[in-house]
Structure 1
Amino acid sequence: MTPKWLLGQPVITNENNMTKFYVPSVGIYNRCIRMRHDHYNCAPFSLYGLATDSAVYPGPWKAALFFLSLCATVQFSTVLAGVMSCCVQSVFKKSVISLAGAAQSLGGLFGVLGLLLYPWGWGAPRVKRLCGEYSEPYIPGDCSI
């Protein structure tokens, strides 16, 4: 997953008569920051998955990651069901395509729920360091989406 969900303010440095520009960012799973000696590092910050401490990985982002993963799993299973419908037309006297359509709508709801949960984490200390003190749930502060 891309770390470019929430972009901080551009940082411009002038070192050795060279102007360097970068934009720190954070996603639902990764973050990108500039390290010492010009290394630009993008890495996951949820080292233990959903068991990572909430001070490091905000709870709403854990829930959003869960629901987005569930959405992807359900959507993938509906693709498999669509391929399977070439061989098996019905399951329990129901059309496979009808069941796949219902499952796909459920997967879509999981995706929407995941996208709605993500901004709840914008009040976390990690986001406040990137976006300023005015960042709150659904208010990105000095960051852009």
Structure 2
Amino acid sequence: MCHVIVTCRSMLWTLLSIVAAFSELIAFMSTDWLVGFPRTPDAVFSPQGATAAGEAYRPTLGIYGRCIRLPHLRRGVLCGPYAVHFGEIASGFWQATSIFLAAGILLLSAVAFISVFTMCFQSIMKKSIFNVCGLLQAIAGLFLILGLMLYPAGWGSDKVQGYCGPDASPYQLGLCSMGWAFYTALGGTVLTFICAVFSAQAEIATSSDKVQEEIEEGKSLICLL
């Protein structure tokens, strides 16, 4: 018989696991890892004459994408991948960052998917599903840390110097500033380790004496604070 067990701690762990996975995915896909130095688009020349250069803006650069402003575009900002193939990513360090972040996100996504079903299934192959997921989250967190540590090592690439000036070098930003995507990835990494630790509390909550008493009474839906 399938018992649906819902507790505050297990639901909180599920919610945080989903948030951690989404935050890392959104950060990885974003172009706002680095914010370049202010610049002004060049003047546009047309048969009607030259138009004045646009107002200053700051382009952004992600791991594999970028946002720039082109004066001849009506919408102004053009965002998209600058790297069509994996080998075109700005530096080898960023390629390694992509691999580690992608591995971490894959594990977090799997855990987020599984966490939705922990209300009905609390074990897998005679192992606590919460403990297994917590272990996967810890491994994902290590991948994410490695990716974030390698990311600044790629700041010396030609691509980054085009956005941050010639003074940009490994672990030196030059004229750039960090964008929200980096901080989102960092926060998601911290949340990942919190989820890994909190999974033990979710396991305790769903296997407590109160839960066992409810099961012995024949209840199939068990909701506890």
Do the structures match in fold with TM over 0.5? yes
Structure 1 equivalent of residue 56 of structure 2: 21
* Consecutive unaligned residues in structure 2, runs of 5 or more: 1-28, 44-50, 179-225
Structure 1 residues 81 and 14, CA gap change in structure 2 (3 angstroms):
closer
CA distance in 2, matches of 1:14, 1:8: 17
Which of these two proteins has the greater Rg computed from alpha carbons? 2
**Equivalent position of 1:98 in the other structure:** 131
Report which of the two has the higher share of helix. 2
* Residue type of the alignment partner of 2:108: Q
In structure 2, the CA distance between the partners of 1:14 and 1:133, relative to structure 1 (3 Å rule), is closer
* 1:116 aligned residue: 149
Which of the numbers 60, 77, 86 marks the counterpart of 1:40?
A: 77
Aligned runs of 1:1-145 on 2, under 5 Å?
1-12=29-40, 16=51, 20-38=55-73, 39-48=76-85, 50=86, 52-53=87-88, 57-145=90-178
Partners of 1:18 and 1:81 in 2: CA distance: 53
Tell which deviates more after alignment, 97-106 or 59-68: 59-68
C-alpha spacing 1:136/1:103, structure 2 compared with 1 (3 Å):
same
Distance (Å, rounded) in 1 between the aligned partners of 2:83 and 2:54: 32
Check the 8 A contact 1:71/1:110 in 2, yes or no.
Answer: yes
Instruction: Give the secondary-structure state (helix, strand or coil) at the position aligned to 2:55.
Output: strand
Give the aligned residue type for 2:55.
K
Distance 2:157 2:72 in 1: 28
State how many pairs are aligned. Answer: 141
The worse-fitting range, judged by mean Cα deviation, of 32-41 and 118-127 is 32-41
| Residue identity (%) | 36
- Which amino acid counterpart does residue 123 of structure 2 have in structure 1? S
Give the whole-Å Cα distance in 1 for the aligned partners of 2:141 and 2:96.
16
* Helix, strand or coil at the partner of 1:32: strand
Say which SS state the counterpart of residue 170 (structure 2) adopts: coil
Q: Which has the higher contact order (CA 8 A, sep 6+)?
A: 2
Contact 1:74 1:103 in 2 (8 A): yes
Amino acid at match of 1:127: V
* Residue 80 of structure 1, CA deviation: 2.5
Q: Could you tell me how far apart the structure 2 residues matched to 1:77 and 1:107 are?
A: 11
- Give the TM-score, by structure 1 length: 0.84
Is the 8 Å Cα contact of residues 11 and 22 (structure 1) preserved in structure 2?
Answer: yes
Code of the residue aligned with 1:81 in structure 2: it is I
Provide structure 1 residue ranges, at least 5 long, that are not aligned to the other structure. none
Q: CA RMSD in A?
A: 2.1
